[in-house]
Amino acid sequence: MVSFRSRGQTQKILIADDDTSVVRLLAGQCGRLGFDVETASDGIQTLIKARQSKPDILVVDVNMPGVDGLSVCAHLRDPYNKPLNVIVITGSRDPDLIDRCKDLGAHYARKGPTFWSDLEAALVDICPHMADNFLKPGTRTPAAKDQSRARILLVDDENDVNRYLASQLEKKYRIEVLSASDANQGFQLARRDEPAVIVTDYFMPNGDAKYFLTKLRTTVATEKIPVIVLTGRRLDDTNVQNLKREIWGRPGATTILKKSFDTEELFCALEQSCGFDKVRALPEGPLN
């Protein structure tokens, strides 16, 4: 993460999107949060302004005329330029896009009902010293959540695994499935959306399941969320015990299962440990 200037100095943020309504919304919100805001409406203008004003943070849309957002990010990775934190915004759900953002070292926020929450989580991660600003009355735009549906978070660096499990879970239960590709992204989503349960791979880049559990158990919003660990390799008794051991008085992993295309064992764990048998009894209706 890029190191910032002292706490008393204003952070510069450049917001780039060809949708003027999005630019106005984000510029207003970020201005109220204490950022020094500049805007751009296409890729070329974004490159010029970023090189001239050298912002601390770039919030950039993927699809813009001239030069697309990801290409802008690639151009600005010049080692002779000031280091830059980037938040990519898009309406796409394409997991490959999320992987490309990760490769660029960028955060990701999807346009939709939880757009501001996504963006807010990224800004807090980049500027933790400004976190108090996000809690002041009049500065937050609360995200709309569908309280009628349970959420499950899948965390695995293999997108095919996430897609397969998501399809099986959505067939079996009336739930919303969220996906993340590593522990850090999973932690951000868990903190933002507070899922009913987390199903995570054990071996992942940027931190294994033990590291992920430790991050979850040190935050109030995620400290009690049940966690089921999946692994494609056999774990020895020491690793199993470490995963199930309490972390500062908070529960360890609920269950540890071997990865399999047969999901019945996972369904049983969800129903026995997390009450997902009750989810199937919810009234039928459109899944918004």
- pLDDT (tens digit, 9 = 90+) per residue, 81-128? 567 899 998 877 777 887 888 787 888 888 766 677 778 888 888 887
- Quote the pTM value: 0.50
Query: pLDDT digit string (tens) for 127-156?
Result: 877 766 665 544 444 444 444 457 899 999
- What is the model's pLDDT at position 257? 93
- Ordered structural domains, the chain, with CATH: 12-135 (3.40.50.2300), 150-279 (3.40.50.2300)
Average pLDDT estimate for 154-159:
91
User: Which region, left, alpha or beta, applies to residue 35 given φ > 0 means left and ψ of -120 to 50 means alpha?
Assistant: beta
User: What are the b/e assignments for 84-123, b being 16+ CB within 10 Å?
Assistant: bbbbbbbeeeeeebbebbbebebbbbbbeebbbbbbbbbb
| In the predicted structure, residue 287 carries a pLDDT above the cut 60 | no
Question: Rounded CA gap, 176 and 179, in Å?
Answer: 10
